[in-house]
Structure 1
């Protein structure tokens, strides 16, 4: 993996891809439903838009509450930094200019399907991981490696759930446009 041996200051990244049997517009509905993301994650516990009446887009914020066995519970404010329906959605955690992490979904059409990518970059701003690194600077590379591996595992599980939801939505939409007589 690219991030093996990386230090926090290196801005390590992880990326996971999945093919979804649904068009980008349908997948977009799922990846931008941030409030449902907690249902797909073992770490993320809840998400809510800061201003539910605001139209989603660049500059809008949401608050996420998370829990990790080694790091406890915490909440963060994320700032939407990229909103390009239906191709990309990204957010910076905490400080837009020096985020603790930046996350992105990219949706690439491929025929009637979508190649969905989830990407994360750690840092450059401080995060919950920073305290562990401060306490054990000689283990920084191992701490970063383990956290990036956790990100990759959790992202894979999230993409699997997004795929399932988007494919069900696409099937439901296809069924709704088919007359009962034309259905097999």
Structure 2
């Protein structure tokens, strides 16, 4: 796996339907993410579907700066995958998502991200990639641990 594309997986003792309901409900992201502390559907979107928009309120690295990020759902297959692009109206900078796979009475949940290969993102990732990659992996592990705790409690 390249540095610009990374993933973390965990097994959750819950069916894919329950995992899907949690990870695709962006209004619950504050319960799960160490950086994005709230999100809401915007532009008439009310739930997960390809093309739906939401914005996430991010506190970078858990300490700042704080900003709103525009997100658009790019892949949405109930009980299998939920992915969204982060960036601008026209340009995706990164993609984040969850893949779900039934696993012996539970679900293997994989959270992943990939950086778009645009010149600005290649420069950013060359300079800050190793540090940001570690932060992203820690954040994904925290998020998945919290998904597990919510669904197994």
TM-score (norm 2): 0.86
- 2:96 is aligned to 103
> Compared with structure 1, are the counterparts of its residues 71 and 80 closer, same or farther at alpha carbon in structure 2 (3 Å cutoff)?
same
Q: Secondary structure at the match of 2:144?
A: helix
What is the deviation of 1:156? 0.2
Q: 1:44: Cα distance to partner?
A: 1.0
1:62 aligns to 2:47 (yes or no): no
Stretch deviating more after TM superposition (142-151 or 14-23):
142-151
Aligned residue for 1:23?
A: 15
- TM-aligned CA deviation for residue 41 of structure 1: 2.1
Which residue is 1:145 aligned to? 130
Root-mean-square deviation over aligned CA pairs: 2.4
Structure with the higher helix share, 1 or 2: 1
Q: Work out the CA distance in 2 between the residues paired with 1:119 and 1:97.
A: 22
Q: Which residue of 2 aligns with 1:32?
A: 24
Larger radius of gyration: 1
More strand by share: 2
Query: Structure 2: any 5+ residue segments left out of the alignment?
Result: none
Aligned partners of 1:40 and 1:161 also within 8 Å: yes
TM-score normalised per structure 1: 0.73
1:45-101 Cα shifts (integer Å, max 9, x gaps): 211111566342001010011112686122111110111001000001124764110
1:157 to 137, 142, 145: 142
SS at match of 1:164: helix
> How many matched pairs?
151
Aligned match of 2:107: 114
